[in-house]
Every structure is written in structure tokens, then in C-alpha cells.
Amino acid sequence: MNIHILGICGTFMGGVAQLAVASGHKVTGCDANVYPPMSDQLRAAGVDVIEGYDARQLALQPDIFVIGNAVSRGNPLLEAILNQGLPYVSGPQWLAEHVLQGRWILGVAGTHGKTTTASMLAWILEDACMQPGFLIGGVPLNFGVSARLGGTPFFVIEADEYDTAFCDKRSKFIHYRPRTVVLNNLEFDHADIFDDTAAIETQFHHLVRTLPHNGLIVSNASEASLERVLNRGCWTPVERFNDPGGYRTSGNDASGDLVLHRQQGEIGRIIWTLLGEHNRANACAALLAARHVGVPLEKGLEALSRFVNVKRRMEVRGTVRDVTVYDDFAHHPTAIATTVAGLRRKVGPARIIAVVEPRSNTMKLGSMKAELPGSLADADAVFCYGANLGWNAQEVLAPMGAKAIVEVDFHNLVSKIIAKARAGDHILVMSNGGFGGIHGKLLAALAE
């Protein structure tokens, strides 16, 4: 089959492209924003990527157009497809019909931690010689790619609650029909498509309603929102983590230990490289999900001692003149607060300079702006890129006083950060986009 993918450089659609190539299909695609790491992965897979959405791409004459959810009405190529009555399908539906059919799907859902938990789960299965396939919204450094077809029926997928496509407003995860599901957490996000938390809970319950009786739900016991979802009706066994009377984890960032507990006592402990209570909870969820497909908890825990975190999750991009620059995907106030807190535990009293680009649709709309100052409270200095926002970042961050600086000119932003930095500092850059390659620009400027 020849397919042409609209929006191919998104983490999900780029993964679909790689899986399609591995399945023997011919793949081309287009996007308006082509940047690493996805552009590098697509090039390595032999996928030709066209910049832009010119309607002349109809001349490629694929068997079907696969439409990403970033593509909306008014897009010139999409309008040409509709006008000519050409066959099209959403990315999740194409994936479900041509890759996932007949496989044991392990889905990881939640507002936060999907990418890291799915990466942990895939690695635990890989370490157990189970050769899983996977599609993850990031690049797990144990694998070096975000998607792989795999050599067995097991397939790990990041189960996103965002909508499917312009033609299908259900959450993506409805299409996957998993047998094993992790429900990590649930809070308000995606203000561009959801009115409130209750609307998101409804989508999560649609997922729960599709799970088989012989499946398993691994759910975060500390999340009241998830308990509300399950109380709507659940036909699948549930195991809970973060449960004071059941499965839980503990540890210490300074020593790097991770301890797994159950009601009867300690199961085991390892030394690993990740930071924060959130990552220890992610590990517990991944271990319980892996046990459902046959990996003993002790073996899974030992595998995590060799787990390397995901690219763009507290990734050290470089250290110049004793100033370290980190790249992190955090773009929601909860994730920002968790990331800053994790780095604080790691670096102790050293200065943290937080650099934030409010780029997600939720942040651009300002739905979570009131929480932003509190999420950055543990940083010593804050720089916010305030361009292209529907709200005044200077006004929102005013309670932070001189600690926060807002800049709408990118080059001025870089200059002000460099002027602030001194030896021993940690510059934490948080964005869910490429942020204009700011990490490299900061390192280059520090070197000068």
C-alpha cells in the first residue's frame, strides 16, 4: 500500500510512518514544521518528507491519505482531498487496522508520565527477551527510536486522550483496543478540545468500556478522578499502585535507590538514574503492567536498573563553563512543578534558571496560566518566552517580582539568560516544541 501522511513530523504520526515502512508499505508525508528528532528518524527510515501542504501533492496518487490531528479544515491539501473525494483515514484508525490488529496491546494513558512509563514498560519487556513493538511519544534512549514493529504479539503504545482527527473527535486511545492499560493520572488539559475535567473523564471511561474481562487496568490509587472513572462502570480487573496498603515505591534521589513495596513488605530495591516521586510511581505502574504479560516483579525491577530515560526528559544537553543546560518536555503546570522539584532535589542549593515556552494549546489559551507562578516557585530565576500567547505573561508572572523575566523577542531572551547565568548554574529549558533550538544557542553563547 502507498500512503501519504499529512502531519508526518508529529511524534505520533512519525511513529505511524516508521511502523508502516517496517510493515512493507511505501510511505511519503508532509508537514509544516520539520525538525529533529522526528525528521532524523524519518530520514533514517527512508521516508520522503515534503515541507508544507501544497495541493499539488495529490499527484503522488497514494492508495490512501492518512490525516494527523494537527491538520484541520482550511488546510489546502486536505481541502483538495475532500473536494476530489479521495480516500482518507485518521492515523489512529490506520494504525489499529494495519498494525495493532490481533496483537496484545499494552496502553499507557494519563495526563502526565505516558512517555516515560511506556518507555519503562517497553524496556522491561525487551530486557525479558519479549521483543515488544512500541509507539511512544518520545525517543527512549534504550532503543534510540520512538516506534518499532517488534518480533512478538506484544505492543506498547502511549495512549493519548487528545482527539483523533478533524473527522473523528474521539480520543486516540479509543482505537487501540488494549488488553493491558495503565491509568497514570487524570487532570485538566487540552483546553482547546475539552471544556472541563469531567469531559476528559468521559473519554477515559469510553476507554475502560472497551477493555476485555481477561485484561488488566493498572490505576493510580491516589487519583480521585480515576476512581470516578472506574466507578462509572468497570468490567476488567484493577490493580492499584501508589496504594498505602498495596503496591507502592519509595526511594531517595541523592542515593538513587528505588524500592518496590507491597502490603506484606519490601519486594526489592535497585539503584537507578531517574529522579522524583513521579518517576518512582511510573516505575511501579510499568512493573505491574509487565507482570500481566508474564514478567515477574523482581525481574522487571532489575531491568529498570538499566533503564535510560527518554530523550527530552531532563536530558542534559551540555555543560559549558560549569553551566549545565537541560531539555525537558514539561508544558503543563503540574509537570513543570514536578520537573523543577526533581532538579532541585538533585542539585541542592545550586541556582536553577527555569526557561519556559508556554507552547501547548492549553497554555496558549491561558487556561492554566494562574497555576504557572506556583509551578515555578522552586526556581531561582524564571525566563518566559511570551510571544504568540493569548494572554499577558508579564501580568501573570508579576507575583514573582524581579525573579521572573518575560521576553517576546527570541534573541533577546537568549541574551538575557546568558547575562544571568554564572558558574554552577543549572538552566532548565521546558517546552513541548523545538523552541527555536534554544539549547544549542545557549551552549554556543556560553562557549563564547
Q: Residue 253 maps to which CATH number?
A: 3.40.1190.10
pLDDT of 235 above 80: yes
Same domain for 87 and 109? no
Q: Is 439 exposed, middle or buried (0-12, 13-18, 19+ CB in 10 A)?
A: buried
For residue range 119-128, list pLDDT tens digits in order. 999 999 999 9
Band (pLDDT 50/70/90 cuts) for residue 93 is very high
Same domain for 271 and 415? no
Instruction: Give a yes or no: residue 97 inside a domain.
Output: no
Same domain for 58 and 112? no
DSSP 8-state class, residue 367: T
Q: Under DSSP, is residue 49 helix (H, G, I), strand (E, B) or coil?
A: strand
Same domain for 276 and 422? no
Radius of gyration of the chain (CA): 22
Q: What is the pTM of this model?
A: 0.83
pLDDT, residue 195, reads: 83
| Sheet (strand 257-262) strand order | 248-252, 257-262, 265-271
pLDDT, residue 264, reads: 85
- Mean pLDDT check: name the lowest of 35-49, 86-100, 224-238, 253-267: 35-49
Output the known binding site: 110-116
Q: Any long-range contacts for 83-87 (C-beta under 8 Å, 24+ apart)?
A: 84/58, 86/58, 87/63
Same domain for 296 and 328? no
Number of domains observed in the structure of the chain:
3
Instruction: Give a yes or no: residue 47 inside a domain.
Output: yes
Distance (Å, whole) CA 283 – CA 220: 12
Last residue of a domain, one of 260, 281, 304: 304
109 neighbors 183 (Cβ within 8 angstroms): yes
pLDDT, residue 1, reads: 94
Same domain for 135 and 248? yes
Same domain for 246 and 133? yes
The secondary structure element, H or E, covering residue 398 is none
Instruction: Give a yes or no: residue 299 inside a domain.
Output: yes
Same domain for 214 and 119? yes
For residue 41, give its domain range: 2-91
CATH of the domain at 54: 3.40.50.720
Overall average pLDDT of the 158-174 stretch: 93
In percent, the amount of the chain with pLDDT more than 70 equals 99
Last residue of a domain, one of 91, 117, 152: 91
Residue 236 CA to its chain's centroid (Å): 26
Distance (Å, whole) CA 95 – CA 158: 13
Task: Give the list of residues 6+ apart from residue 115 with CB closer than 8 angstroms, or none.
Answer: 136, 137, 138, 158, 310, 313, 329
Overall average pLDDT of the 251-273 stretch: 92
pLDDT, residue 162, reads: 87
Same domain for 230 and 202? yes
Does a cis peptide bond (omega within 30 degrees of 0) precede residue 37? yes
pLDDT, residue 329, reads: 83
186 neighbors 111 (Cβ within 8 angstroms): yes
User: Any idea which residue has 516506534 for its cell?
Assistant: 147
> What does the block give as the cell for 99?
498494525
Last residue of a domain, one of 283, 304, 325: 304
Overall average pLDDT of the 178-195 stretch: 87
Same domain for 225 and 328? no
Instruction: Report which of 7, 160, 165 is spatially closest to residue 89, judged by C-alpha positions.
Output: 165
Distance (Å, whole) CA 374 – CA 140: 30
How crowded is residue 438: how many other Cβ atoms within 10 Å of its Cβ? Answer: 23
For residue range 370-421, list pLDDT tens digits in order. 889 999 999 999 999 989 888 898 999 999 999 999 999 999 999 999 999 9
Q: Taking phi first (over 0 means left), then psi (-120 to 50 degrees means alpha), and beta for anything else, what does residue 341 get?
A: alpha
Output the known binding site for ATP: 110-116
Residue 231 CA to its chain's centroid (Å): 27
pLDDT of 69 above 80: yes
Q: Is 165 exposed, middle or buried (0-12, 13-18, 19+ CB in 10 A)?
A: buried
CATH of the domain at 330: 3.90.190.20
Same domain for 322 and 296? no
Same domain for 53 and 79? yes
pLDDT of 364 above 80: no
